[in-house]
Structure 1
């Protein structure tokens, strides 16, 4: 499906503007077909083109419609890398957002993560990866405990990383100059390449079963 994505159109923003606030169900339903055509279908086309460019990124899902207004106002999608290790995308009135990492941990993943952060070699590697991404404009997010986990010293050199129970790196939003053009494909491919070392670390040290990542 090469070349299918040409960018979101002004109609996509028009539809999302009409869905702002708390739109009644009747209005949402009246815009269902327009939203599908102008908002959701371009996300599918974008991820098909990304998968054409990088075959390892072919396991994706694009969210459909739900009852809550938020799901109509934001078009989400995910590219699966390993168990709970994903690249998440969202298109809304602010443009295209991308966030990648370890989401919603399964049982056993948090202890594996902490053990890998404590271990000198793997822990130092993660600290270097997150530091490098931060220097390139990525924001480090995730479920962060207020205190250190029990049994770990408060002055541990990787204390902040140890407080995470999920970990993602969020790219700066891509504005209209990207979202409205085919350049969004390259934007996602480039971000996936930048994030590949972090995703590989999480797949190897946290996920129950890793999927190879290019």
Structure 2
């Protein structure tokens, strides 16, 4: 399937889901979701695969086990590319009634990855590289976010110009493209490709300096 844009019916579907997040609504409109949301998203990431890697589309169902919000369905469709063997640094895209959101970076780091991240931030070579890249993205309408401490962790210089980066326990950049007519056309593919290229340097820094976790997965 060639990506031709996200049909308007898919965005209208999400507007309705926001108003009526119920199994009844979902069942009645599931065919619209499959044809006008999930299929175009799959086509989009398929066209990007040769440059960025294979994407995973997220399930439309929310995990409500530990949430006070028990609404069963997500009001967006997301997809992520985690390059094999790189560990940290991923590309993200989602579509919803508000438009198209793109992102890159690390949304979650294990404790060993956080340790390596902090050492790299404090390094006199790698730290300035990240500082420059984060500043460049922030100046280009990217939102810099991530889980962070309220204070700089012990053992690091609080006067350092990278103190804000040391507080991070995860680090990612995101950008929202509000709804526009181009979302219904192939032009949406160009927006995602350009945005993912723009955040690739951040992903490369994370892959080179943080990498994959060495913690073993324990089965209970």
TM-score for both structures, normalised by structure 2: 0.86
Deviations 1:105-159 (A, max 9, x none): 1231000000000001000000001111111111111112111111223212200
Select which of 7, 10, 25 maps to 1:12.
10
Q: Tell me if the contact between 2:97 and 2:179 (Cα under 8 Å) persists in the aligned partners.
A: no
Aligned residues between the structures: 204
Q: 2:145 matched to which residue of 1? A: 141
Contact 1:143–1:166 at 8 Å: present in 2 too?
A: yes
SS at 2:44's partner residue? helix
Q: Unpaired segments of 5 or more residues in structure 2?
A: 65-70, 214-220
Unaligned runs of 5+ in 1: 210-214
The answer on whether the counterparts of 2:88 and 2:203 sit within 8 Å (CA) in structure 1 is: no
Mapped pair 1:62 → 2:57: yes
- Deviations 1:28-53 (CA, angstroms, capped at 9, x unpaired): 122222111111111101111122xx
Q: 1:208 aligns with which of 189, 202, 212?
A: 212
Residue 110 of structure 1 aligns to a residue whose secondary structure is helix
Deviates more, 1:198-207 or 1:12-21: 12-21
Which of 117, 121, 140 is the matching residue for 2:121?
117
Match of 2:197 among 189, 193, 201: 193
1:50–1:189 contact (8 Å) kept in structure 2 = yes
Q: 2:88·2:206 contact (CA, 8 Å) conserved in 1?
A: no
Q: TM-score scaled to structure 1, two decimals?
A: 0.89
Does the 8 Å contact 1:7/1:181 carry over to 2? yes
* CA RMSD after TM alignment: 1.7
Equivalent position SS for 2:42? helix
TM superposition outliers: structure 1 runs of 4+ over 6 Å: none
Maintained 8 Å contact 1:90/1:97: yes
